[in-house]
Structure 1
Amino acid sequence: MPTAPVAAPAPAPAADTRADDDNFLLLREAARKNDAAGTNALASRLPPTYPLASYVDYYRLKPRIRDASAEEIREALRRHEGTAAAELLRSEWLLEMGRRRDWAGFEREVGQLAGSNLQLRCYALLARASRGEAVAQEARGLLLDPEYYGEACAALIAQLVQDRQFSEDDLRWQLRLAGEADATGPARRAAALLGASDTRAAQAVDAPAVAMARGIGKTPAERAIYLVAIGRMARTSLKVATVALEKNSPQLSAEERAIGWASIAHAASIKLEPEAYTWWQRANGIRLTGEQLQWKTRIALRRGDWKAVRATIEAMPPNLRADSAWVYWLARADKHEGRTAEANAAFERIASPHNFYGQLALDELGRQVVAPPPAAAISADELAQAGANPSLQRALKFYALRLRAEGNREWNWGLRGMSDRQLLAAGELARRNDLLDRTVETSLRTRTELDYAQRFPAPHLDVLHPTAQGLGLDKAWVYGLIRQESRFISDARSGVGASGLMQVMPATGKWVAAKIGMDNFVHGMLNDLRTNITLGANYMNMVLENFDGDEILATAAYNAGPSRARAWRGVLDQPMEGAVFVESIPFSETRGYVRNVLANATNYAAVFENKPQSIRTRVRPVQPRERTSILP
């Protein structure tokens, strides 16, 4: 990728520049390995004028964060004040001060950083608790995701137990959360604080059959561990879990039985089992986790039980209830109950052309998605100002080194506090440097001045249009999918091996190539833009035909595989509202994917057709019928 921040071609890098870049990459790797001697030696080879000098200091100090003097760290922070690298260094230093329980230093340096990092927030509460402050209520609102607790949040829980700010009920709640999140370490720690066996708690998470075979136990803590095992077993075998819970119910309290049924209902909901609705009713009256509340709501939606939909959404914590999905479905419950004014007020709060539920809300209000008029062109001065932004310059350097994650961090740092016009100028800068993903993400931050040419770009139209037209495919849907799959990064590669603009898997590419008579196909061809579009568009057409033209099912199949989409459809015995089907897709990734693709496609159609669009033309009732599959 070009490194120049303007459209003019960059000069060829000099030999010493290439050597500096090589040394920087070695420095980064040495820091990753915590090689203090190596980072010090490599950092000394790089000149103070190196474009990424702030990261040179960061990588040099990171392996020595435990031993470096406070003055040395402060000097680096002063030298690079206001940069993303300084924030990274300060975060590392704060975590080290938290581990050392240096609360005076921690609170002197933390500033606004405590709000952006779970571990730092836990240390901030721990610092206050160490002075005798009551922080339990704040901690309960924070400690909801054991997978990311680390030492900081584990220490906070232990301190709150020691100070008697956390009760056994709090610890049993943490044990439930750990079991749900498959977080063995936090489960061990919660059990130990309860005075129970941490080994048995680990077995409940990792080997539930073994834990269940040990018996239900005699103490509330042991029974809590047993219920974790029931919930984990339900993910594998609902039958084994339900039989065990029913057998041991006489030895459980009413609350414990309800907790067990909630875990079973949760697992059954994810599997779209019909018994889930009944099992949720057996869990009435207890506190549910955030995930359980959401799945209970989804099952109520599938049953058309609007009373339960309302009750469960209203039981959600405020941050979850404010999500546009649950604002929308609560408004739908209002509408079902004849509370039209309340429903319309809620729809108005989230109505927006920019996302799935915003578009559905627009539809409920009788409005459609309309592409705004083109934004005023970016001037040369505006573009030059963007190109002179130091953070954006560092980001472009990272992209040139093929360090996309670091580039994205720097790019996002540089966008802070920008006006709409400055954001659009930065988006144009990204476009001129062939970084369409940054163009899209940057333009999405504008508040009043919307540029759909940036938000919904349509590159490679000379290749995609004839391909889509020849297959009879809606190019708005194709572009909506590409925007979600790769954000137009032509050399994108996923962790599972999908490649290119349309993120085609090698096995899928080979299968589609054979179907369309592309005899010379080899995996490397997936990186060729024309081949990638040809194979991806043909596969989209195949899944669309296989699912009777249903864009919901075809989009889900493209992401999760046709067999899963067939299975989700296969449990239907009557047509289901499309939005309900989408909301109850078992995989969270696929659920979000389908939402985004369909919302994207609606916006692209507004641009391509130059007329208002309704997402309802794509979110139609999903039918249970399916013809014989031709897909793997």
Structure 2
Amino acid sequence: MKDRFKLRLKLRLSAGCIISFLSLIPWVSANSLEEQRTTFQAARLALQENQVEAARLFMAELRGYPLAAWLEAQLLTADFEQSSDTALVSFMSNHPHSVMSDSLAARLAARLAGRGQWAALLTLIPENPEQLTTQCYRAEALIHTGSVKQGLEQAQALWQTTKKDLPNDCSSLLWQLKNHKQLASSDYWRRIQDLMGNKRVNAARQLAVYLTEEDQQFFDLWLTVRSAPTKKLPELFSQPDSAQVRAIIVDTIKQIADDKLQTALPLWAQAQTSFKFTKAEQGEVESRLGMWEAWRHDEAGLQRLKQITVTDRSPEGNAWLARLAMRSQDWPALLEAASALDTVEGSDDEWDTWRYWQARALEQLKKTKEAHALYAGLAKNSTYYGFLAADRIQQDYARLTDPPPDRTQRIQGLQKLAVYQRWQEWNALGERGQARKEWFRLLQAMDKEGVLAAAELALREGDANLAIWTVSRVKDWNSVDLRFPLLYEQIVMDQARSQGIRPEWILGIMRRESAFDAKAESSAKALGLMQLMPGTARDISRQMGMQVLAKEDILQPDLNVKLGSTYLRDMLKRFSGNYAQATAAYNAGPGRIPKWAPPQNLAADQWVESIPFEETRKYVRAVMAYTTVYDHKLNQDQHLRLSMRLQPIPAK
């Protein structure tokens, strides 16, 4: 009662009144943790009301409080014009690798750049800053202080590799590239082609100012065609043949194909009568057209993609050639496409995928030794394709019985860090978003073993979801102890018995859907552990003679698992006990599954990899792998092999 009264009083005071109030009320000093929390919230509200001096007075009461540093950063930001460079640098030095310092570093870099204090910028701003804006300022500072080559190299790296649009504050750095003749109009044009192909039109507009006048006219023409592609594209066919016009046509045909394949096909045929496209340009368009035909499981896509030379076929074209070839049992075509994809830069998951399919093709082509070598490499991992590879060569599953390493020393070191204490306090205040910002920024400064220790610490603190996401940062898929906690076991076992389905499957679905976050709410409004859409949850509840109306009801773990398990049972029954199809139905909806049925009976691994939707394809692979892990946790030596769970897919 006293704390609530005190908070109300504090928040009603003007800055002047607070001074006299604090001098008269002795109990306002924040000694206990609860009093500190009350004072901290008062300081935050004072800042929101622009009462900086009042916030400073509250902060004086917060010595030793975990979030005092966060409040100090907010004060420096609120009074930035009056904050000295020394004060800002002192704060950043005391709190390295933190969200707070990242923000202040960006503002300080902008201030120093605005003054032309480039040498000071290099001295005061840490190397390898987190924010793009700060990286741009550091690169420009190198150029201005004589390290021209190093600065230009950093500038080019930012320009070429960033996956985000560069902030406006980076524009002067881009001018440095042009002024030092590092980039010609043709370089900008190639970059614009890439951006337009990825539908990043605004980023392309930013670069267009660096083009020659002639190329700017071509870019304006591109924007005109982009505004109404189907209508405007034929108007281009009367233009003289040039690399720029062909680039616009190639991009536009691909964009049209993404929405209306049948419209794109005759337009492409017409374009080829008017322009002499290079083999690379032809391969780019034919790959996109063939991809969409293959996506529809149309055999025409197989033939189109096979006609493109492997060097001119795009990675997406190779991927869809491989998928349609495996579905059609065309093992030579599968081997060619999968081998090409093995050399393309990608994630570990993508490499494992295509190495497995190389092995499957080699096995079918009687090249057993080469296939076995690939399987053996894959079988070292506790992943979907690792388990399938182990099944092919009849090996035990790797890493499922490994004892977890002793991370005690690293964990104790983490617990001493101020950022860990801030994370704890944000969680205590119910501000999970702030807590996670602190946590994930810390991980960026840690080695792999440190990140795994952080994951175990999160698990010990009862945040399994955070532990799972933490491991994902270093992609250590073999840390089974951290990635697959056994939670909600009694609820799951009860529902498995009630619905007549396997508990490990429920856990596998839950692990994929929410990573055990009972409060999870997706952008599509799916809720809870099993990510139920409200409409689906209400339909199931009505079928069970229950009434579920409120979001809060659906989020309850016991009810969420009950409804989700009932839906899983229905899907398994609908698809005759086929786990791969039932899992796909849980993700994509049951109506789509018959459309993906093969013309003849098909091995489940071939069917799963040829699912048109990338999300569903990855979802089924993940759930089947997770189910295998949880089967081992629940049943030890009695667990099923993954290949035994993946029954063949019946023909249409």
2:269 is aligned with 1:246 = yes
CA distance in 2, matches of 1:327, 1:448: 19
User: What is the rounded CA distance, in whole Å, between the counterparts of 1:580 and 1:302 in structure 2?
Assistant: 6
Cα distance, 1:392 vs structure 2: 2.4
5+ residue gaps, structure 1: 1-10, 626-632
Q: Distance in 2 between matches of 1:98 and 1:201?
A: 36
8 Å CA contact 2:323, 2:334 repeated in 1: no
Could you tell me which residue of structure 2 aligns to residue 220 of structure 1? 243
CA shift for structure 1 position 506? 0.4
Cα gap change, 1:552 to 1:150, in 2 (>3 Å): farther
Per the alignment, residue 603 of structure 1 pairs with 629
Partner of 2:14: none
What are the equivalent positions in structure 2 for 1:536-615 lying under 5 Å apart? 536-567=564-595, 569-570=596-597, 572-611=598-637, 613-615=640-642
Q: Match for 1:181 among 198, 207, 210?
A: 198
Q: 2:13 corresponds to which residue?
A: none
Aligned length: 603
* Structure 1 pair 105–258 and aligned structure 2 pair: CA distance change class (3 A): farther
- Which stretch shifts more, 551-560 or 93-102? 93-102
1:401-550 → structure 2 map (5 Å cutoff): 401-412=429-440, 417=446, 423=452, 429-431=457-459, 433-441=461-469, 454-519=482-547, 521-550=549-578
Q: CA deviation at 1:490?
A: 1.3
Asked if 2 retains the 8 angstrom alpha-carbon contact of 1:212 and 1:226, the reply is yes
Q: Which residue of structure 1 aligns with residue 222 of structure 2?
A: 201
> Structure 1 residue 203: deviation in Å?
4.8
The answer on whether the counterparts of 1:259 and 1:283 sit within 8 Å (CA) in structure 2 is no
Q: Are residues 166 and 445 of structure 1, via their aligned partners in 2, closer, same or farther at CA, if it must alter by over 3 Å?
A: closer
In the superposition, the TM-score normalised over structure 2's length comes to 0.77
The answer (yes or no) to whether the contact 1:196–1:221 under 8 Å persists in 2 is no
C-alpha contact (below 8 Å) 1:191/1:197 kept by paired residues: no
Q: CA deviation at 1:178?
A: 2.5
Aligned to 1:7: none
Cα distance in structure 2, aligned partners of 1:159 and 1:294:
40
Aligned pair in 2 of structure 1 residues 447, 523: CA closer, same or farther (>3 Å)? closer
Moved more, 171-180 or 499-508: 171-180
The yes-or-no answer on 1:279 pairing with 2:294 is no
Give me the whole-angstrom Cα distance separating, in 2, the residues matched to 1:347 and 1:113: 40
Answer yes or no: is the 8 Å Cα contact 1:395–1:407 preserved in 2.
yes
User: How many Å separate the matches in 1 of 2:251 and 2:425?
Assistant: 49
1:393 aligns with 2:458: no
Are the structure 2 counterparts of residues 173 and 101 from structure 1 closer, same or farther at C-alpha, using a change threshold of 3 Å?
Answer: farther
Q: Which moved more, 1:405-414 or 1:490-499?
A: 405-414
* Inter-CA distance 374–146: structure 2 relative to 1 (3 Å threshold): closer
How far is the alpha carbon of 1:414 from its aligned partner? 5.2
User: In the TM superposition, what is the alpha-carbon distance from 1:552 to its structure 2 partner?
Assistant: 2.1
Alignment counterpart, residue 21 of structure 1, candidates 41, 46, 49: 41
Over 3 Å counting, the alpha-carbon distance change for 1:112 and 1:387 in structure 2 is same
Q: Distance in 2 between matches of 1:333 and 1:45?
A: 69
1:71 aligns with 2:81: no
Look up the SS of the partner of 2:651 in the other structure.
Answer: coil
Q: Under a length normalisation based on structure 1, what TM-score does the superposition of the two structures give?
A: 0.79
Q: 1:541 deviation in Å?
A: 1.4
Moved more, 532-541 or 436-445: 436-445
Percent identity over paired residues: 23
AA at the equivalent of 1:469: R
Asked if 2 retains the 8 angstrom alpha-carbon contact of 1:509 and 1:523, the reply is no
User: Does residue 81 of structure 1 match 2:96?
Assistant: yes
Q: Are the aligned partners of 1:98 and 1:152 in contact in 2 as well (CA < 8 Å)?
A: no
Q: CA offsets, 1:334-390, max 9 Å, x none? A: 4455554444444444434432222233333422336316558998x9976664443
Which is higher, the Rg of structure 1 or of structure 2?
2
Give the aligned partner of residue 56 of structure 1.
71
Q: Which residue of 2 aligns with 1:257?
A: 282
Cα distance in 2 between the residues matched to 1:524 and 1:538: 19
* 1:181 partner amino acid: N
In structure 2, C-alpha distance between the alignment counterparts of 1:366 and 1:483, rounded to whole Å: 27
Cα deviation for residue 515 of structure 1 reads 1.8
- CA shift for structure 1 position 136: 8.2
Please give the root-mean-square deviation of Cα atoms over the aligned residues, in Å: 4.4
Matched residue of 1:308: which SS?
helix
Match of residue 629 from structure 1: none
Q: State whether residues 265 and 279 of structure 1, in contact with CA within 8 Å, keep that contact through their aligned partners in structure 2.
A: yes
Cα gap change, 1:383/1:236 in structure 2, threshold over 3 Å: closer, same or farther?
closer
> Greater shift after overlay, 468-477 or 327-336?
327-336
Shift of 1:437: 1.2
Distance in 1, Cα, partners of 2:218 & 2:482: 56
Matched residue SS, 1:195:
helix
The structural deviation recorded for 1:563 is 3.0
Query: Paired residue for 1:372, among 386, 401, 407?
Result: 401
Unaligned residue ranges in structure 2 (runs of 5+): 1-30
Residues 142 and 164 of structure 1: is their aligned pair in 2 closer, same or farther, counting only changes over 3 Å?
Answer: closer
Range that drifts further, 276-285 or 508-517: 276-285
User: What is the one-letter code of the residue matched to 2:629?
Assistant: N
> Quick check: 2:388–2:642 contact (8 Å CA) kept in 1?
yes
How far apart, CA to CA, are the structure 2 residues paired with 1:206 and 1:22?
51
CA distance in 1, matches of 2:361, 2:137: 41
Q: Map 1:341-356 onto structure 2 (within 5 A).
A: 341-356=369-384
- Per the alignment, residue 619 of structure 1 pairs with 646
Distance 1:98 1:298 in 2: 52
In the TM superposition, residue 477 of structure 1 has moved relative to its aligned partner by: 1.0
- Of the three residues 121, 139, 143, the one matched with 2:160 is 143
1:113 partner SS: coil
Tell me which amino acid in the other structure corresponds to 2:617.
R
Rounded Cα–Cα distance in structure 2 between residues aligned with 1:129 and 1:382 = 40
User: Aligned in 2, Cα 1:174/1:272: closer, same or farther, shift over 3 Å?
Assistant: farther
- 1:202, CA displacement in angstroms? 3.7
- How far apart are the structure 2 equivalents of 1:384 and 1:259? 54
Give deviations 1:425-483, integer Å, cap 9, x for gaps. Answer: x5565345431213444577899998856532222222221211121111111101111
Residues 224 and 455 of structure 1: is their aligned pair in 2 closer, same or farther, counting only changes over 3 Å? closer
Partner AA of 1:298 in structure 2: R
Does the Cα contact within 8 Å between 1:375 and 1:449 map onto a contact in 2? no
Q: Measure the CA separation in 1 of the matches of 2:307 and 2:634.
A: 51
- Determine the C-alpha separation between the residues in 1 that align with 2:168 and 2:319: 29
Structure-2 separation of matches of 1:624 and 1:161: 60
Distance apart, 1:534 and its partner CA: 0.8
Q: Provide Cα deviations, 1:508-560, integer angstroms capped at 9, x if missing partner.
A: 10111122221454443102221111111111112222223222222222223
Aligned partner letter, 1:257: Q
Secondary structure of the 1:367 match is: coil
Cα distance in 1 between the residues matched to 2:168 and 2:337: 38
